[in-house]
Amino acid sequence: DDDMSIDEQLGDNCLSADCDFLSFADEDEDEFPIPDYIFIPPQNISTFIFYIIQYCYEYGLSPSPQYIVQHIVPRVNGIDIRGYEVMMWMMGVSIGWVFM
């Protein structure tokens, strides 16, 4: 909604579905910098982007990698794959196959 303020779109009690700032994410999700060491289910990428933008709005800076892994990734049913890469390599399974 064009009449909603930035606080109404990115404030503490907002939902990603209410955020007009995510309109780019539907077309260019691949352009948003998602760390290589995390996996976000494709259907949750827009929500992940929303939480990053919301954090930036609230604190005036981007979240640390540690904050992303500990607080944002679990909210979007993602995982930190750094530990899984070694385990899957040892088992002879491709990461791409496991998560697709």
pLDDT band, residue 85 (cuts 50/70/90): low
Entry pTM = 0.74
Long-range contacts of range 5-14, CB-CB < 8 Å, 24 or more positions apart?
6/57, 10/53, 10/54, 10/57, 10/58, 12/58, 14/54
Tell me the per-residue pLDDT of 2-60, one tens digit each, with 9 for 90 and over: 677 888 778 777 778 777 777 666 666 667 888 888 999 988 998 999 999 899 989 99
